[in-house]
Amino acid sequence: MGMTMTQKILARHAGREQVRAGELIMADLDLVLGNDITAPVAIREFPNFGKAQVFDKEKVAIVPDHFTPNKDIKAATQCAACRAFARAQGIVNYFEVGHDCGVEHAVLPEKGLVTAGDLVIGADSHTCTYGALGAFSTGIGSTDMACGMATGKTWFKVPSAIRVVLTGSLPRYVSGKDVILHLIGEIGVDGATYQSLEFTGPGVAALTMDDRFTIANMAIEAGAKNGIFPVDEQTLAYLKEHGAKEPVVCAADPDAAYTHTVEIDLSALKLTVAFPHLPENTRTIDEVGEVKIDQVVIGSCTNGRISDLRAAAEILKGRKVAETVRCIVIPATQRIWKQAMKEGLFDIFVDAGCAVSAPTCGPCLGGHMGILAENERAVATTNRNFVGRMGHVKSEVFLASPVVAAASAVAGKLCGPEDVARMPPDAREAGN
């Protein structure tokens, strides 16, 4: 019996010719990641492993991004612990606020720190993002991060896999966010628990790298251990452009075993929104009804890349955000921030009535820069809409793509770009 993409990567890092689903293995790590929330816990645990130094100062990355720029004294203390540890250990990949930093899962690929065939763990659940590059990457706890930093190894139970066969190409305005929301709506938030979501089929070639990052990022929202895409010409071009090390391509064997197969015709997809309070609670844009909103957030590790900002700007250009709505735009990295400014996207956002932030996770996890009050509703390009995720337990978050978020900001209610196109350019929702 053959192996899946994920199983081949795990076998290689375990020094074995073959692994099987359900086996426990010990594997070598290519990168260990932490942020300002999770790394301090790992740093406190690190001495308990009897090591004075991390296993490799170039294979540990610490990215302060969740409560940064620091929102309060506790956040500052967390970041100070990360900063002191990184300096004491000589960690090469420590990314300080303002110093070409940003949201961790956008920073690492941008910096070429992950390549195809890598095995990456991170003390953040959305570490699965790097599966877009043909890597095995998954979230772990802070104690496992400490062990990884100390030994360069960790254990895994080899996951079984679900094959997701993609065909066709996406219609106008439909994006990777709609693909993954559709999939989660089909299989549920526990539909892939401790399995690998392995994307394949001719439709993969029709997806941009940013689409793939978005899809892989939200594999965890289906309960998956990881999401992973095959390595193609787009992948190789991205890796080369960003200076990543030589890739190792691990293609699935023709006789690899899958628990089941899900088929998605990309050409048949519609703009999709996840209603509160689970990512599986999906409806297409023509099913959403009349939902008034108070806030829009465009950004995060899911949809804060330059293509996302361009898509939002296309909708907002020449229009105004509804007077009843606050629209916050958060580029995912400093590099993306600079590119957006260079392209004039900030002029479009500010002229429309948006607030543009420095790179941060910010409101995504209810941290800062956009917390919701009781009974407020937000449309967000983020990845989770659990109870209290962005603020008060009686607030609501609707997950959507950048074009839906931007259109909703203009209309003052949940809607798609075609609805906004029918409005006069200077039309503003007055809350009536």
Element (H, E) at 421: helix 417-421
**Which pLDDT belongs to residue 307?**
97
The dihedral through the CA atoms of 145, 148, 154, 156 has a sign that is positive
Residue pointed to by tokens 């002229």: 351
Q: At what angle do helices 209-217 and 176-187 cross, to 10 degrees?
A: 30
Q: Is 15 left (phi over 0), alpha (psi -120 to 50) or beta?
A: left
Q: What dihedral angle (degrees, nearest 10) is formed by the CA atoms of 400, 278, 289, 331?
A: -20
Which is more confident, 430 or 119?
Answer: 119
> Closest by alpha carbon to 353, among 306, 402, 412?
412
> DSSP states of 104-165 as a string?
HHHHHHHTT---TT-EEEESSGGGGGGGGGT-EEEE--HHHHHHHHHHSEEEEEPPEEEEEE
CA–CA distance, 142 with 127 (Å, rounded to integer)? 13
Whether residue 20 contacts residue 158, with contact meaning beta carbons closer than 8 Å, is answered with yes
- Which residues are CB-neighbours of 321 under 8 A, at least 6 positions away? 296, 327, 352, 353, 354, 409, 410, 428
CA–CA distance, 278 with 399 (Å, rounded to integer)? 9
CA–CA distance, 377 with 362 (Å, rounded to integer)? 17
Reading the block at residue 247, the tokens are: 């890739």
Residue pointed to by tokens 């105004």: 320
Kindly tell me if the per-residue pLDDT of 89 is higher than 90: yes
> pLDDT band at 423, cuts 50/70/90?
confident
Q: Round to the nearest angstrom and report the end-to-end CA distance of the chain.
A: 63
Q: What percent of the chain has pLDDT over 70?
A: 98
Element (H, E) at 295: strand 295-299
CA–CA distance, 354 with 179 (Å, rounded to integer)? 27
Report pLDDT digits (tens) over 109-168: 999 999 999 999 999 999 999 999 999 999 999 999 999 999 999 999 999 999 999 999
> Closest by alpha carbon to 215, among 184, 179, 268?
179
Whether residue 360 contacts residue 103, with contact meaning beta carbons closer than 8 Å, is answered with yes
Domains 13-265 and 274-421 share a fold: yes
Report pLDDT digits (tens) over 223-237: 999 999 999 999 999
Reading the block at residue 229, the tokens are: 């895409």
Whether residue 414 contacts residue 273, with contact meaning beta carbons closer than 8 Å, is answered with yes
Residue pointed to by tokens 């390009």: 381
**Which pLDDT belongs to residue 420?**
84
pTM, two decimal places? 0.94
Using DSSP's 3-state secondary structure scheme, residue 265 falls into: strand
Fold of 13-265: Aconitase; domain 3 (3.30.499)
> Closest by alpha carbon to 70, among 334, 413, 362?
362
> pLDDT band at 432, cuts 50/70/90?
very low
In this prediction, residues 276-301 reach a mean pLDDT of 95
For the chain, what is the mean pLDDT?
A: 95
**Which pLDDT belongs to residue 426?**
55
Which CATH superfamily, name and number, covers 274-421? Answer: Aconitase, domain 3 (3.30.499.10)
**Domain positions in the chain:** 13-265, 274-421
Kindly tell me if the per-residue pLDDT of 429 is higher than 50: no
> Closest by alpha carbon to 391, among 309, 276, 302?
276
> pLDDT band at 424, cuts 50/70/90?
low
Question: In the beta sheet, which residues pair with residue 27?
Answer: 154
Report pLDDT digits (tens) over 35-57: 999 999 999 999 999 999 999 99
> pLDDT band at 69, cuts 50/70/90?
very high
Using DSSP's 3-state secondary structure scheme, residue 171 falls into: coil
Q: Is 416 left (phi over 0), alpha (psi -120 to 50) or beta?
A: beta
Quickly count: other Cβ atoms within 10 Å of residue 149's Cβ: 29
**Which pLDDT belongs to residue 144?**
96
Burial of 391 (0-12, 13-18, 19+ CB in 10 A): buried
**Which pLDDT belongs to residue 428?**
46
CA–CA distance, 357 with 142 (Å, rounded to integer)? 28
Quickly count: other Cβ atoms within 10 Å of residue 209's Cβ: 20
> pLDDT band at 430, cuts 50/70/90?
very low
Whether residue 309 contacts residue 340, with contact meaning beta carbons closer than 8 Å, is answered with yes
